[in-house]
Structure 1
Amino acid sequence: MPQRITALITANVFQNGLSRCEESWRYYTVLLRRLAAKPVDWYISDLDFDLAFVLWHLYQFGGDQACRAAYEEMMQILRICKINESILENSKFYRLNFYDSLRLACSVDCCVDAIVTWEPNQFATSDRERSSIREKGYFYRNFNAEMADDQTRTTHSIGIFSVDAFLLHLHELETTTSSIRKAPSVLQIESLEVQITRSIKATVTLQTFEGRQFRETTHGRTPCDALYKAIDRCVDRHIQLPERNLVYFSMPDTIGGADAVVEVCIRVECGDAQFEASATNDNVLWAFGDAYVAAINSIYAGLSSVWGMGGDRPN
């Protein structure tokens, strides 16, 4: 059964309708009614609520009676995410402008499935994400999180959608939310160590959901090469996955200081599918390792949903 999803909407979805043009009013009347009718739990930051509604009422911006009614209907179903000190602090970790950093931090805090905005490009920080926006109108970014009930670590994905792309792909988002985007992590990194002398050696300890640990050491051409090979050895001792290849990873060209938080984005090919993941850490190797393990967890979650529907497990 499709899962009811959650989404944070940004102020520009409303602001772009606040014009003196009747054609704009008609367009946004239809658009807001469509959004309000969808099986979505809508969130908005308190900052965006003020931008979208308080100023609108205060200055009596445009809109005919039907348009105003559509705005009021949408306003009544919004859940407001208050920007507190924790959200302000977490927003510093994202390489975005101040306001979009707050929006992303609110989305992570509320654990929503999507952000809906007219400007998804403002949230993109890598060539992969920008390319995805050009091709599809959206992209996904992974975040480390904990389940509220038992603090189990999980990899949570948030999709950043243009308004049109969100409406177009809503059914797909509904059917995959429960099986993949909030699946508990099968594996997580317990410890890692990389030694660089005349050769490069990585030692990794992975911990399973049940608390079992696997430790492996491998050599590689680069620190990341050695690291992902060690992770793969640990993975293969615990779960059975098809052959997979790390086909792409990226990190910032410049890092803002010795203790700056770094985001690493990766893409792993497994069978006919590609799995993308990202992670942040003030240690670039930890960020790389967490991103790679997040991709492994996504592969396993995706295959588990296939197995659950009667598909064949890999040999």
Structure 2
Amino acid sequence: MELINKIQGAVFFVDILGFGALTQKKINLKDEDFAVWLDQYSLPYENQNLAASVLAKFREILLKINKKFGDTTISQLSDCAFIWSKNVKEVVISANNIMSECISNGILCRGGLSYGEIIETSQNHTLGRFILGDAVTNAVKLEGIAKGCRIMINQEFPHDLNSCDKEFSNNISTLFQPFINPLDFETYDEFKWYFAPFMEKDFSIQYINHSQKAKHTNSRLKLANIIRLSPKFSWNATNAQGVVHLKSSLNFLSETKDEIFRVSHNFNFKEVHKNRSESALNMANKLIDEEIK
């Protein structure tokens, strides 16, 4: 018997960017674009095999996050997923960690985060669980607003978080900032997860010291380097829309106008590199480590 629950909670919707173009063969790839994803499986160099490899890694990340933050429920639907819970803090931290892990592993995602009514099935089974409701609808709408690996929120989300968990809200409140979309010049609200990648449960901006600020900035700039130089993103850079998402991500991941931690640095990446390699990535990361010192 399928039981249905109605709860108030947070929903994070995350989607892999460029996946449709990949599976529909709208992008032409070279052997080196496939190799970094498929050689480990000894699979033929084909778009569908690359897509399957990306999905396998995406699922691995979701399982890792679900194990780490047990109060959330995760349901994967091909190249997207829903993460939800009455525990708003865990959804927020899960969203942060999913985005961090995905970029670190060569997957470019975009997300929407919302709070409100959730209607869910209460039993796990082979078909997986499903949800619907205002929070779900809003999270999906928010995901499609911006370019790049952003997490968009509705205007009420910080207030809802504060009502549910005032202490955690105070700890991360400055990570919720307005964002002006350069495509339509409308102002939207954003969870700037990338200023504190791989967020832990005890993270607090209120009590962060200079060393911790430098550490988070180091992590943020290295995520930008991965997008800029990792061969795993080569397939994203083969079509115009993919390049837009990559450039947008680089722009805010390497942002020098740091209104969160006020840490200055000499890196501001704009261009997507055509020649990508692990050696170039390692060299660029060493430069960041030297700057942080």
TM-score normalised to the size of structure 2? 0.23
Structure whose alpha-carbon radius of gyration is higher? 1
Point out the structure with the larger strand share.
1
TM-score normalised to the size of structure 1? 0.22
**Bigger relative contact order, structure 1 or 2 (CA pairs below 8 A, ≥6 apart):** 2
